[in-house]
Structure 1
Amino acid sequence: MIVLKLKSITISLLLNVFTILLVFNVQAQNHPKLNLTKAGVAKIRAELGKVPLFDASLAVIKEEVDAEIALGIFVPIPKDFSGGYTHERHKRNFLILQKAGVLFQILEDEKYAIYIRDMFMAYAELYPKLPVHPQERSYARGKLFWQCLNDSNWLVYTSQAYDCIYDWLSKKERKHLEKKLFIPFANFISEGNPQFFNRVHNHSTWGNVAVGMIALVMDNDDLLQKALYGLKTDNLEVGMKDNDGGFIKVEGQKVGFFANLDEPFSPDGYYTEGPYYQRYAMYPFLIFAQALQNVKPEFKIFEYKDSVLLKSVTTLINLSDSDGNFFPINDGQKGMSYYSRELVTALDIAYLFGGENPELLSIAEKQGKVTVDDAGLEVALGLKEGKALPFIKKSLELTDGPKGDQGGLAIIRKDGLELVFKYAAQGLSHGHYDKLSYSLYTNGNELVQDYGLARFVNIEQKGGGNYLKENTTWAKQTIAHNTLVQDETSHFKGEYEIGSQFASKKYFLDISNPNIQIASAKEINAYKGTELHRTMAMIKDESLTYPYVLDIMRVTSDSVHQYDLPFYYLGQLMQTNFKYNSPKVLQQLGEKNGYQHLFEEGKAKISQENSTLNWMSNDKFYTLTAITAENDEIIFTRIGANDPEFNLRRDPGMIIRKKGVKDALFVSIIEPHGTYSPVSEFAVNAYSAIDKMTVLLNDEAYTVIEIRFKNETSKVIAIANLDNSENSKHKLTIADTIYQWSGPYYSK
């Protein structure tokens, strides 16, 4: 009996041990699981050689990674800013490591796993010995890079590589790497830099996601909680500034990944910092969302905040011109587009988890590549199967603010003309002081520009690739934008603390009629005691070849001021209908608030009712026709004064100035109207079709404008300045003509 009992116990113990080992083995063999999955890898292997775009994308990264493996492993002691050797080497390393992990999983070639392991071991040897980075410019210095932001980039990408070789590594190797590298790295980004980690900003998004990604690989719930909800700390200084002019956590403010979803995104998927930084943040947002969906599906992350992450991808595409370049709202580098690696990743993930929107496939087709993972395969299959439909960019409004109640953007499109009218919130530390500003594009070319940022990203010889001082002294200042400046002072005095409290208010928007699309907004906080009310309309007249843009800026104040309305056209001045004087020696226009960076190239005292500027850009003719009054001034400017290092572009501009008045009305039309062929040397329709513009009425309640054309047709636009109700009825009699309508505006 005893023997049998012992045998029974022995068998039972053996079975239990076997079960434990089996469970442990299943748990240990659950990688990759972030953005590549076991099922996804199996499907990819089965489809190799059958899906052209995927195969081509795989071949590109294989060639790139093989070349790096042949060169060897380099993990230099960090010393440089952006663009310098050590910075770019460590950046190159994390990009290659992520791609090598993908190749190992798909091709099952151990050389890629060996390369990743050896690179990680080199970092595990280096990292514990590193002090903070020697460059002292950042508010949160990293170790591998000059700022924690770039350290976070490194960990986001390398977490994916670690996931891909996790099961291939021995338990001893994993323990060593986690103890010496990954856990200290995650703790340094978070606990070691709460002023970086506990924020609502694209910086902290990268930090949160870096910690979250490595937490998911290691099944480390403590790190995951930090990533999702931030650090539990109460010792942060309220209102402490960073070097961007932004702020770290204010007591009571939510932090962590979910807070960075809740606060910067509007319900429409617009990211308050602007499209340039939305593009930058989309990679961590979407890559972590995909990983969470695969590992922690209970979070239902793609349903969070009414699927805001999925909306944000299509929103970002709509924030680009016809060539795919993002509008440079706030701090934005021109030329950044949806061809960037961040948008390739975001689009592929949005397609996989957002119901396989066929319109996204047409953008992927233009991008010409896919991510080499589960999402990329589905996109490539969709294209192979002919599922793509055109992504048609239409006129739309994008609200700003977490609840969509902090102003927004109106993007109005017609026949290749694109108007971007901004009445948004400040945009956090990357925001500009440019309430009610606008920019204008035609077929992908800038016509009336927003300057964007003053920075040469990752070009070492220009300030280490970082923001230049001119970003503050010029690019953020109001005079750098196409909006009104009072007394040569920027909106909110150029102070972030004030500007971040307010947003402009939409007055009305109507884009339902393709022949007149109109947006109107008010700003009452930029200048104390002054209200700005701007209405912009894109109008298509059957008698004209192209649509034109009407701009009505109405200013009312409780005291006398000087008002400047700049206009930054791009191209070559052809002709004006007024005489101006050009100085022999160029002088700066003013002393501060951006005026110190403008040369005065010419000045005119205006006496006529209409002033015109005719210019040519990309072999097309345009005319600005403005209603002017006696004693108005027109000033021709050129950017670049007080810029000894040539950090600013030498672009032209024109300012309409009204001096010594309380209230003012600026009315103008921008009219595309002709072309020039350098080959045939013929100019067609080189002159404006407008004969005269007149203010029929401008009082507290109404502003009425008449436009007369040379073809003897005319158009009248009326704005109800105090009543924006769609149901209100209006009736005016002007010079024996009765104007009667319902709603906030009239057009006929």
Structure 2
Amino acid sequence: MAMKKMKITALLVVAATLNIPLAAQSQEHPNLIMTKAGVEQVRKNLGKVPLFDASLQSVQKEVDAEIALGIDTPLPKDFSGGYTHQRHKLNFLTAQKAGALYQILQDDKYAKYIRDMLFQYEAMYQDLPVHPQERSYARGKLFWQCLNDSNWLVYMSQAYDAIYDTLSAQEREKLENNLFRPFADFISIGNPQFYNRVHNHSTWGNAAVGMIALVMNDEELLQRALYGIEDDGLALGGRDNDGGIIKVEGQKAGFLANLEEPFSPDGYYTEGPYYQRYAMYPFLIFGLAMHNVKPEMQVFSHKDNVLLKGVDALLNLTDADGEFFPLNDGQKGMSYYTPALVTAVDIAYQYGSQNPHLLSIAQKQNEVLLDQSGLAVAIGIRDGKAQPFVKNSINLTDGQDGEQGGVGVLRYGNEDLTLVFKYAAQGLSHGHYDKLSFSLYEKGDEIVQDYGLARFVNIGQKGGGNYLKENKTWAKTTIAHNTLSQNEMMHFDGDYETASKHHSQLYFYEDKNKDVQVVSATETNAYPGTQMHRTMAVIKATGFEKPFLLDIMKVNSATKNQYDFPFYFMGQVLSENFAYDSPATLTPLGNKNGYQHLYVEGKGTPATDNTQFSWLGNGKYYTLTSATDKSDELLLTRLGAHDPQFNLRRDAALMIRRKDSDNTTFASVIEPHGSYSPVSELSVNSDSNIAQLKIVHDDADYTAITIKDIKGHMSVFILANRNASSSKQHQLAIDGTSYSWTGPYHFTDN
């Protein structure tokens, strides 16, 4: 191990001090994102394409304001959210935009601005120590972590490429030997624990090294970007500060490995949509640079066009307002209006099949890139080619080969009701312990929510804008999600290594009948000796104003356990059909695994074999109807215990607790109904339409649920628990009525 570290140190010293001559082969600039031919096309269309012209005008105003302020490259000292962090971030963003302006407008002031900024960085970088903040597993120099240093180099590579031909050979040599190569060496061979693995961090690092390699025509750096560092000195099974595996036996590294392993064949990225959004920029921008400079590598067609599929997958993982579903670590409110998705949509349109549905997303974004892809999108919109991007139900597989579970999204109508059902793999270090969890939306409003992450990104007052300790003590825990917790323990006992070995299994997915769409999956490893089988159906039934969600969780265990089944509803409690006691003093529900953060605001027991609980959220009514046992406990909980710094939202839940049970089934319906207007003060259809929900049959082979509405109309849903074949014929008698059907489920509504 010591010898390997010495090898890396020697490599770093040699790479940093060796004056590598410029390649003799001539190379045209710009050639990364903008090309000479592309720039000419842009110039010819100035004043003729409204959205492009407006985007150009907006960027020019922004950059001119920065130029007027002067260049500041302060000595780094802050976490994200602090001045030095934000200043260096704004510098690289502005420099990249200034490069595009220089190429399009041919105004030398933009080239001079970039040149002066680069030489200020060149002067400071040679003697710059590692960042003074010690929190990161891989500290940067300009920023507190190498990740942000990589952001800088990805953007500055584009700025350098844009003004490359305005610099003398001596100026380029000075920048490359004193700034760019040492910078690339530092984030790669200087920090292999950051660079040489499969993770969104490494993707940024790989892209950064690859982008500057292409500008400088440096083959050695390009190989390092694509394939990683062969002898990195890392111990097998080493870990980063997030708990992520750095290197395992036989693992590859580099950009191509990051392109291969985290993506499923459907384009789903295992860390979840929030980090897929973040990683798509380096994936696509370096992919485009490779397309322009090294087209023979065919990066865009790698793994059956997985990068371009990834854009489509991301757009499908949004609600009606374009906000990404907060699976795993994900900040709520992040949406396809982010600049990373402007880049993704434009590049996917230009270098994919010029899908006209993408143009409608670009219209909503109301800006385009200042390059040939942005121009193509703006022209398509100008010429009336845009078609609506309709988000239908979709089942996205997880895992490199699509065999590690997945995420099912069931949509009724125009996103009138949207179910997000997670039965995926762990999701690397940003994964949560929540097998078979769900969230539910009506249009863009949350009905039953996923908490997301515990972090206030770039807000310095909250932990320097970084992840808070509550992310591990609450947000990642099982009880924080709408799924089953057993004996107050987390899935896989909260152990990352164990969780990374397992995934849930799809039982079946069916969305052909728009009025009855079903997704069903099993989990056998979260709790040893216990199998969970959850089936969720979005149903539009006769006599119901709106579609509803039917939820069946069948549990089989070798031992008797306590099961907790929470529903994190969003809104104001209206009514319930059970009595409960409210304590004078709030106490936590437990002392670990997330329970320590939950106050008990009410405790009761079911009054009947049906428990009903209603709330009002965003002017709409909702009722949860559950088939409950009289021995169940009903807990009204609220987040906020052991949270002295108020880092957690004060979210509420209704939790069904079932004790001393081995095999049991939870059956519930979440029913949207009616509306309330604070303007007209008119309340419409505020009561549930369900008179009774009942489990009428439940054994190893079949589970049957009846739903009787207030007019006496009965619906029946039957699930075949053992055989999900679409051609299997079934027959079952229930209370003297015989049901026959083909396939894994039967629904009758007549």
On whether the aligned pair clears a TM of 0.5, the verdict is: yes
The amino acid across from 1:675 in the alignment is: S
Structure 1 residues 710-733: Cα deviation after superposition (integer angstroms, max 9, x where no partner):
122111111111111112111111
For the Cα contact (< 8 Å) 2:196–2:232, is it kept in 1?
no
Matched, 1:569 2:578: no
Structure 1 residues 360-386: Cα deviation after superposition (integer angstroms, max 9, x where no partner):
000000000001111101100111111
For the Cα contact (< 8 Å) 1:205–1:257, is it kept in 2?
yes
The amino acid across from 2:74 in the alignment is: P
Distance 1:91 1:735 in 2: 68
The amino acid across from 2:128 in the alignment is: L
Distance 2:231 2:742 in 1: 56
Aligned residues: 725
| Corresponding residue number in structure 2 for 1:256 | 254
Distance 2:466 2:275 in 1: 15
| Corresponding residue number in structure 1 for 2:464 | 464
Q: Which stretch shows the higher mean deviation, 427-436 or 239-248?
A: 239-248
1:578 partner SS:
coil
1:388 partner SS:
coil
Distance 2:475 2:319 in 1: 21
Matched, 1:175 2:173: yes
State the 1:734 CA deviation. 1.6
The amino acid across from 1:492 in the alignment is: F
| Corresponding residue number in structure 2 for 1:428 | 428
2:253 partner SS:
coil
| Corresponding residue number in structure 2 for 1:400 | 398
Matched, 1:729 2:732: no
| Corresponding residue number in structure 1 for 2:266 | 268
Q: Residues 663-678 of structure 1: matches in 2 within 5 Å?
A: 663-678=663-678
For the Cα contact (< 8 Å) 1:564–1:656, is it kept in 2?
yes
Distance 1:52 1:121 in 2: 36
Using a 3 Å threshold, how does the CA distance of structure 1 residues 501 and 627 change in structure 2: closer, same or farther?
A: same
Distance 1:678 1:72 in 2: 50
State the 1:29 CA deviation. 6.0
Structure 1 residues 466-517: Cα deviation after superposition (integer angstroms, max 9, x where no partner):
0000000000000000000000000000110000000100001110001100
| Corresponding residue number in structure 2 for 1:224 | 222
Distance 2:676 2:178 in 1: 66
| Corresponding residue number in structure 2 for 1:312 | 310
The amino acid across from 2:518 in the alignment is: I
| Corresponding residue number in structure 1 for 2:287 | 289
Distance 1:262 1:444 in 2: 33
With normalisation by structure 2, the TM-score equals 0.96
Q: Residues 66-465 of structure 1: matches in 2 within 5 Å?
A: 66-233=64-231, 235-415=233-413, 416-465=416-465
For the Cα contact (< 8 Å) 1:395–1:411, is it kept in 2?
yes
Matched, 1:636 2:636: yes
State the 1:25 CA deviation. 13
| Corresponding residue number in structure 1 for 2:713 | 713
State the 1:26 CA deviation. 11
Distance 1:308 1:711 in 2: 51
Distance 1:475 1:307 in 2: 34
Structure 1 residues 235-284: Cα deviation after superposition (integer angstroms, max 9, x where no partner):
21122221111111213101100000110000000000000000000000
For the Cα contact (< 8 Å) 1:75–1:90, is it kept in 2?
yes
Which consecutive residues of structure 1, in runs of 5 or more, have no partner in the other structure?
Answer: 1-23
For the Cα contact (< 8 Å) 2:192–2:232, is it kept in 1?
no
| Corresponding residue number in structure 1 for 2:579 | 579
For the Cα contact (< 8 Å) 1:269–1:315, is it kept in 2?
yes
State the 1:542 CA deviation. 3.4
For the Cα contact (< 8 Å) 1:382–1:388, is it kept in 2?
yes
State the 1:746 CA deviation. 1.0
Distance 2:23 2:270 in 1: 46
State the 1:140 CA deviation. 0.5
For the Cα contact (< 8 Å) 1:607–1:629, is it kept in 2?
no
Using a 3 Å threshold, how does the CA distance of structure 1 residues 621 and 238 change in structure 2: closer, same or farther?
A: same
Structure 1 residues 74-127: Cα deviation after superposition (integer angstroms, max 9, x where no partner):
111100000001000000000000001111111111111111011000000000
For the Cα contact (< 8 Å) 2:583–2:601, is it kept in 1?
yes
- Aligned-pair Cα RMSD in Å: 1.1
Distance 1:607 1:540 in 2: 28
| Larger gyration radius, structure 1 or structure 2 | 1
Structure 1 residues 676-723: Cα deviation after superposition (integer angstroms, max 9, x where no partner):
121222211100000101111111111111111112211111111111
For the Cα contact (< 8 Å) 1:614–1:624, is it kept in 2?
yes
For the Cα contact (< 8 Å) 1:197–1:230, is it kept in 2?
yes
The amino acid across from 1:678 in the alignment is: P
Distance 2:299 2:26 in 1: 25
| Corresponding residue number in structure 1 for 2:680 | 680
For the Cα contact (< 8 Å) 2:189–2:232, is it kept in 1?
no
| Corresponding residue number in structure 2 for 1:30 | 28
The amino acid across from 1:544 in the alignment is: F
The amino acid across from 1:353 in the alignment is: Y
Distance 1:235 1:42 in 2: 47
2:166 partner SS:
coil
Distance 1:590 1:402 in 2: 38
For the Cα contact (< 8 Å) 1:121–1:177, is it kept in 2?
yes
1:613 partner SS:
strand
Distance 1:212 1:678 in 2: 56
For the Cα contact (< 8 Å) 1:205–1:256, is it kept in 2?
yes
Distance 2:557 2:24 in 1: 72
For the Cα contact (< 8 Å) 1:406–1:504, is it kept in 2?
yes
| Corresponding residue number in structure 2 for 1:531 | 531
The amino acid across from 1:235 in the alignment is: G
Distance 2:354 2:746 in 1: 42
The amino acid across from 1:409 in the alignment is: V
Structure 1 residues 10-69: Cα deviation after superposition (integer angstroms, max 9, x where no partner):
xxxxxxxxxxxxxx9996561000100000100111101111000110111111111111
The amino acid across from 1:55 in the alignment is: D
For the Cα contact (< 8 Å) 2:473–2:593, is it kept in 1?
yes
For the Cα contact (< 8 Å) 2:23–2:218, is it kept in 1?
no
> Which stretches of structure 1, 4 residues or longer, exceed 3 Å deviation after superposition?
24-29
Using a 3 Å threshold, how does the CA distance of structure 1 residues 234 and 156 change in structure 2: closer, same or farther?
A: closer
- What is the percentage of aligned positions where both structures have the same residue? 62
2:209 partner SS:
helix
For the Cα contact (< 8 Å) 2:579–2:607, is it kept in 1?
no
The amino acid across from 2:394 in the alignment is: L
For the Cα contact (< 8 Å) 2:482–2:565, is it kept in 1?
yes
Q: Residues 467-482 of structure 1: matches in 2 within 5 Å?
A: 467-482=467-482
Distance 1:25 1:598 in 2: 62
Q: Residues 546-561 of structure 1: matches in 2 within 5 Å?
A: 546-561=546-561
With normalisation by structure 1, the TM-score equals 0.96
State the 1:742 CA deviation. 1.2
Using a 3 Å threshold, how does the CA distance of structure 1 residues 234 and 112 change in structure 2: closer, same or farther?
A: closer
